[in-house]
Amino acid sequence: MPPRTRRFIYIYIYIYWFTLLVRSARTYRVLIGASPPPFFGGGGKSDDSRLSGGAAKDVFAAHKYGGSPAGAVAAAVMSGMDQDCGGYVAQHAKDAMACSKADCPLGPLTLAGLNTAVGRLFRLRLRLGYFDPPAVAPYNNASYRAVNYTANFEVALRAAREGIVLLDNHKAVLPFDKATIKSVAVIGPNADNPGNMQGVDCHGVPPYLITPTQGIGNFSAINFAAGCAIGGTSKSGFAAAVAAAKASDAVVLVMGLDPSIEYEMRDRTSLLLPGVQPDLVAAIVAAAPDNPVVLVVMSGGVVDVTPQLAAGVDAVIWVGYPGQSGGQALSEIVFGLVAPSGRTPLTWYPNALFADGSPDMINMLDMGMRPNASTKNPGRTYRFFPGKVLYEFGHGLAYTTFAITDLGVTAAVPVTAAAVDAAVGSEGRYTAPAMATASAKVCNTGITASDHSALFFAAPPTAGTAGDPIKSLSGFARTGILAPGACATVSAALTAWELSLAGPTGKRGARAGTWVVSIDTDGPSTTLAVA
C-alpha cells in the first residue's frame, strides 16, 4: 500500500474515532491490536499516546516495516506503543536498543523511550490501586455481585433490544399476532446455540444465555430443529426441520455465521450463508408455503440474503451476536412487545463484489477506502462506495411510520473555511468545537409506539468527486419511545471535524462551499454554507 494511502486510512478512518473515544469516554488506554503506531508517521510521542497491542510483530512479519524485528520494535515503542500483547517486544528489545542504522533504519529504542513506556504502564497501575494497602484498594474488595447483578442484566437486555435491526418486512408478517401464532418452528444452527450468542472473542462468562429458542418459547409452543451445521455438507437434519415447519403456525430460521467462518486472521471467501444453510432455507420455505417465514441472521459481518429473499422468506432480522439476553430481545421484537429501532452499522454488499471469478470482484489487495480506477477499487463503505447495495449503512425498519420535518442547521459561530481550519488545528491536534447544530422534528405517524434512531449526515460540496466522501455520519440521537401521534426533537452538533476533510496525507482541511446536511438514509436534507 502506498505510504500516502496508508497514512490517509489510519488518520482519517481510525484516529478520529479513537480521539472521540478518549475525549468522550475519558479512556486512559487504547488497544491498537494490529494497527501499528509507526504507520502514523512518528506521531504519538506525547504522554497522551497510551497505546497497546500486538502491532510490533505484525508490522514486520506482515509488512516488513522497520527493517528487522528489532527495528519494528524500536519504531513501535518510540512511536507510543507501551504494551505488547505477547512476547515479541521482550524478545527483541535488547537488540532494538543496540541495533545499527542498517537494522533499525528508523532509529534504535532508547532508554528514555523505554522509560516513558514503562512509566505510563506503572502510572496506570498506581491509578488502579495496585500498590495501595489491600484494605483501601476498592477493586480488591469488589465482589462477584459488583458485576453480576440486576442493573447490568438490564443494560445487556437493552443493548440487545436497541441493537437488533429489522432489515426486511416486505410482506408485513412481523410482528407475530399471538392470537393466531400459537406454535413456532425455531430452526437453524444458531437457533439454540448458546456458545455463539456472545460472538467470536473477548467476552466474559455470563450468568445465563437466552437463545432464540428459549426466548420464543416464552411466547408460544415451539418445534425446534437445528437442521444443519453452520458449515459442512450434511443434510441429515433436513427432514426433522421440514417436519417442524409443517407442524407450526410460523417459522423463525436462525442462520448465520460463527468463529469457524469469521474470526481474527480468518478471512471469508463469500458473503453468502455458508454450507448447506441456503438449501435448508429453501426446503423450509417450500415445505410451509402458507406460513410466515422469518430469517434471523446471527453474525458479525454482513450476509448476502438475496437468495433467501428469492426463495420466499417474508422478513429478515439481523441480531449480530446479541449477548446473554439476545433470545429474549429477539422474541420480544418478533411478537411485538418491543418495536425494532436498530440501524445497521454496516454496508450490506452483494456477494458478486467478492466472489471469485465475478466480473464485479473487488481487488482485495487494494485496501484503500477511496475509489481507484487503476486497481478497479470502486470505493469502500457508504462514504465512498457509489454502487448498488442490499442495505445501506444506517438502514433499519420499524413497526410504525415516522414523519421527519423542520430539519434545519443553526450556526453557533460564523462558519468560514478559515474558522474550520483554525478549529481543526495542525496535524496532531484534535480540537473540534461545535460550529453549528442540526435538528429536526420526528413524529410517530403510525399506530405502534416506537423509538426512532435518527442519523445525521454531512456531504461536502465536492461529494463523491476527487476522492472526497459521498457523505459522512456526523451524529445520531434517539427519540425515546414515542406514542402514536407524539413528536420529539433530535439534534446533533456539527464540529470542525464534520465540516473538514482529510487529504491524501491524512491532514484535514476545510472545504468552502455548500454542504448538504441530511437525516436518515431516506430523510430530508438542508444546506449549510461554509464561506
CA-CA distance, 512 to 415, in Å (whole number)?
9
Other Cβ atoms less than 10 A from the Cβ of 373: the count is: 7
CATH label of the domain that carries residue 299: 3.40.50.1700
This prediction has a pTM of 0.87
Output DSSP code: residue 131.
Answer: T
CB 176 within 8 A of CB 191: no
**Residue 210 one-letter amino acid:** I
Looking at the fold, whether 179 and 91 belong to one and the same domain comes out as no
Tell whether 219 is covered by a domain: yes
- Output the CA–CA distances (angstroms, integers) from residue 216 to 158, 221, 503, in the order listed: 17, 8, 50
Is residue 389 one of the residues assigned to a domain?
no
State residue 236 phi and psi, 5-degree precision: -65, -20
> What residue numbers bound the domain in which 71 lies?
3-127
CB-based contact 390:346 (threshold 8 Å): no
The reported pLDDT for the residue numbered 375 is 84
How far is it, in rounded angstroms, from Cα 103 to Cα 59?
15
Cα 501 to Cα 439: distance, rounded to the nearest angstrom: 22
Among residues 294, 310, 334, which one ends one of the domains?
334
Q: How many domains does one find in the chain? A: 3
Distances (CA, A) of 219 to 177, 289, 419, 426: 11, 23, 57, 58
Domain boundary among the residues 94, 112, 127 is at 127
Domain annotation covers residue 367? no
Residues 109, 29 share a domain: yes
Question: What CATH number is attached to the domain comprising 442?
Answer: 2.60.40.10
110 and 248 both lie in a single domain: no
Whether residues 205 and 264 share a domain: the answer is yes
Helix 69-78 to helix 88-98 angle (10° resolution) is 90
C-alpha pair distances (Å), 246 with each of 178, 273, 294: 18, 23, 15
Query: pLDDT tens, position by position, for the chain (531 residues)?
Result: 454 555 556 556 666 666 666 666 667 776 655 444 333 333 333 333 344 456 677 778 777 778 889 998 998 888 888 888 778 888 999 999 998 888 888 889 999 999 999 999 999 888 888 888 888 877 777 777 777 888 889 999 999 999 999 999 999 999 999 999 999 999 999 999 999 999 877 788 889 999 999 999 999 999 999 999 999 999 999 999 999 999 999 999 999 999 999 987 788 889 999 999 999 999 999 999 999 999 999 999 999 999 999 999 999 999 999 999 999 999 999 999 999 999 999 999 999 888 777 777 887 777 788 888 888 888 889 999 999 999 999 999 999 999 999 999 999 888 999 988 888 764 333 446 788 999 999 999 999 999 999 999 999 999 999 889 999 999 999 999 999 999 999 999 998 888 998 876 667 889 999 999 999 999 999 999 999
Are residues 446 and 401 in contact, defined by beta-carbon separation less than 8 angstroms?
yes
Question: What's the CA dihedral at 494, 497, 501, 505 to 10 degrees?
Answer: -170
Same domain, 155 and 61: no
Whether residue 122 is found in the same domain as residue 161: no
CA dihedral 399, 523, 299, 450 (to 10 degrees): -30
